[in-house]
Structure 1
């Protein structure tokens, strides 16, 4: 799954509400990925990890706990690609997600649940990029 396919899947599975609910999106994504090949689930996991890794930067998370920062970064994804890219360009756009404690922890479990449903096995989460808070060392380096 490439980046365009990832964002298209997010858009297709997002609830039709002004503020997408992460829980509803997670259920829709899991169901959609479960209906396809395991390669789609793995591709989704890689793209989700990449998106979260790119937001793992000091200017976004300097005042948040590790878990809070992770769940808040995940909350940017349901807003769609346009909003996500705007947040990347302007850290001030991240502030509402952090200050309103908008969390999307449920999105983090989509790859695991889809993989389990497809294969009947647990997945070890081997993605190219770690989405864990502070793993993007370049994003936390002093400029």
Structure 2
């Protein structure tokens, strides 16, 4: 799955109404990915990790920390490509997510759930980019 396919899938699965904590988005993504093929699940995980990694920077993470920072970055991804790219270009746009405790933790579990549905096994694969908070050392350098 390339970056365009990733964002297209996010867009197609985003609900039209309010979606606190992105529950509906996660469920729709899981349903789509559970239909296979397996490389789409792996590709989704890779693209998700890259998107989250790119937001793992000092200019975004000073208001929240740890898991809250990760879940807030996931909410930016869940908002779709246009919002994500706007936040990348203007860190001030991250503040409403951080200050409003807007989270999308469930987005992080989508690849594992889809993988287990397709294979019957637990997800035990690392992605190329570590999306855990503060793993982007370049983004936190002075």
The TM-score, its normalising length taken from structure 1, stands at 0.96
**SS of equivalent residue, structure 2 residue 10:** helix
Question: Residue 16 of structure 2 corresponds to which residue in structure 1?
Answer: 16
User: How do 1:9-48 and structure 2 match up within 5 A?
Assistant: 9-17=9-17, 19-21=18-20, 22-48=22-48
Deviation of 1:20 after TM superposition, in Å, equals: 4.4
- Once residues 51 and 115 of structure 2 are traced to their aligned partners in structure 1, the CA distance between those partners, rounded to angstroms, is 20
User: How do 1:14-93 and structure 2 match up within 5 A?
Assistant: 14-17=14-17, 19-21=18-20, 22-93=22-93
Runs of 4+ in structure 1 over 3 Å off:
none
- Once residues 62 and 134 of structure 2 are traced to their aligned partners in structure 1, the CA distance between those partners, rounded to angstroms, is 10
* Number of residue pairs matched by the alignment: 141
Cα RMSD for the two superposed structures: 0.9
Per mean C-alpha deviation after superposition, the further-off stretch among 98-107 and 63-72 is: 63-72
- Once residues 2 and 110 of structure 2 are traced to their aligned partners in structure 1, the CA distance between those partners, rounded to angstroms, is 17
- Once residues 42 and 95 of structure 2 are traced to their aligned partners in structure 1, the CA distance between those partners, rounded to angstroms, is 31
From the superposition, tell whether residues 20 and 7 of structure 1 become closer, same or farther in structure 2 (CA, over 3 Å).
Answer: farther
- Once residues 120 and 130 of structure 1 are traced to their aligned partners in structure 2, the CA distance between those partners, rounded to angstroms, is 24
Deviation of 1:34 after TM superposition, in Å, equals: 0.4
Question: Residue 94 of structure 1 corresponds to which residue in structure 2?
Answer: 94
Decide whether the 8 Å contact of 2:63 with 2:98 is kept in 1. no
Deviation of 1:77 after TM superposition, in Å, equals: 1.1
How big is each residue's C-alpha offset from its partner over 1:57-76, in whole Å with a ceiling of 9 and x where there is no partner? 00000231210000000000
The TM-score, its normalising length taken from structure 2, stands at 0.97
Decide whether the 8 Å contact of 1:20 with 1:79 is kept in 2. no
- Once residues 61 and 89 of structure 2 are traced to their aligned partners in structure 1, the CA distance between those partners, rounded to angstroms, is 15
**SS of equivalent residue, structure 2 residue 134:** coil
